[in-house]
């Protein structure tokens, strides 16, 4: 259902917080998804921290406050913030692995495409190079319009997950800002044209039952990372979009920790 900006915070399940832990190289710099927070990938972040790695998972611009603050943000805003977080991580660590979930995957891919010298690996969870048809079709139409109304789409639930055990831990907005959602759609097209510039080792993880970003995105990304040093793909059969908190979260966490160990 379409609605307006909330008078309250619009946050589900508490306060959105960044996640940071000191540790050894490589530092894991992680970007969450659209309208979400690091809580979407918390089991993965915690597993990396428990393994002794430094972890930095910031809140992306427009997130953690009110959906109205996100409505006017652009892909360029998210990239600019991501670069600053990378610079900060690189000051303290000789090696940095960037990881992104959903919208955050596009930010991570952009940083990886820029050939940053201390960026030694890329992890992509539920990549948003393409959105599923129910989102892609209307957003595609909106991109052709000169203006997009200041409207919001209420979410039916906090997250696309098969296992609802951790659903109440997902801190996210209760609605999608339509203008900002259009930016995610646009960003997918931007990054599809830049994949050949990614040269670092890459780990691609996706849920087979993903209803937000099709699982075929994983194969598409692998096929188009033609210049990457190495590419490993894994699709988890039991999980949907938020794979870091779904049925296969333990395997997802273990795969990311293994990648960090070798990065």
CA 33 to chain CA mean position, Å = 4
Instruction: Quote the pLDDT of residue 11.
Output: 76
The pLDDT of residue 136 is above 70: no
CB half-sphere exposure, 175, CA atoms < 13 A? 25
Phi, psi of 54 (to 5 degrees): -70, 140
User: What angle is formed at CA 182 by the lines to CA 45 and CA 127, rounded to 5 degrees?
Assistant: 35
Beta bridge partners of 207: 236
Residue 10 confidence (pLDDT)? 75
Q: Is the pLDDT of residue 238 over 90?
A: yes
Name the band, by pLDDT with cuts 50, 70 and 90, for residue 116.
very high
Phi, psi of 188 (to 5 degrees): -60, -45
226-236: pLDDT as tens digits: 999 999 999 99
- CA separation for the pair 224, 222 (Å, rounded): 5
Task: Give the pLDDT of residue 140.
Answer: 57
- The answer to whether residue 137 scores a pLDDT higher than 60 is no
pLDDT one-digit tens code per residue, 45-64: 999 999 999 999 999 999 99
Partners of 206 in the beta sheet? Answer: 235
State the pLDDT at residue 12.
Answer: 75
Domains and CATH numbers, the chain: 2-262 (3.40.50.1820)
**How confident is the model over 138-172, as pLDDT tens digits?**
555 556 556 677 788 888 888 999 999 999 999 99
Q: Which stretch, 7-16, 155-164, 251-260, has highest mean pLDDT?
A: 251-260
Query: pLDDT at position 144, please?
Result: 58
pLDDT at 189: 94
Q: What is the per-residue pLDDT across 18-51, written as a single tens digit (0 to 9) for each? A: 999 999 999 999 999 999 999 999 999 999 999 9
Q: Tell me, what's the pLDDT at 14?
A: 84
pTM for the complete prediction? 0.94
Res 162: pLDDT: 97
């Amino acid at each position: 259902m379409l609605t307006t900006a909330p008078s309250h915070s619009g946050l589900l399940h508490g306060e959105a917080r960044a996640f940071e832990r000191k540790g050894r190289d490589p530092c894991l710099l992680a970007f969450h998804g659209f309208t979400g927070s690091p809580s979407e990938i918390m089991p993965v972040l915690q597993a990396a921290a428990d393994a002794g790695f430094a972890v930095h998972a910031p809140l992306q611009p427009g997130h953690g406050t009110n959906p109205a603050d996100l409505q006017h943000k652009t892909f360029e805003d998210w990239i600019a913030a991501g670069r600053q977080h990378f610079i900060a991580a690189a000051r303290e660590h000789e090696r940095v692995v960037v990881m992104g979930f959903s919208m955050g995957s596009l930010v991570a891919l952009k940083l990886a495409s820029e050939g940053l010298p201390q960026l030694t690996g890329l992890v992509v969870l539920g990549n948003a190079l393409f959105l599923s048809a129910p989102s892609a079709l209307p957003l595609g139409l909106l991109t052709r319009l000169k203006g997009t109304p200041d409207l919001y789409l209420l979410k039916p639930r906090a997250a696309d997950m098969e296992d609802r055990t951790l659903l109440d831990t997902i801190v996210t907005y209760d609605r999608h800002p339509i203008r900002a959602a259009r930016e995610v759609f646009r960003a997918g097209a931007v990054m599809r044209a830049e994949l050949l510039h990614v040269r670092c080792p890459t780990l691609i993880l996706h849920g087979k039952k993903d209803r937000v970003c099709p699982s075929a995105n994983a194969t598409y990304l692998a096929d188009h990372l033609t210049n990457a040093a190495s590419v490993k793909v894994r699709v988890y059969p039991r999980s949907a979009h938020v794979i870091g908190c779904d049925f296969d979260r333990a395997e997802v966490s273990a795969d990311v920790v293994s990648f960090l160990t070798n990065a």
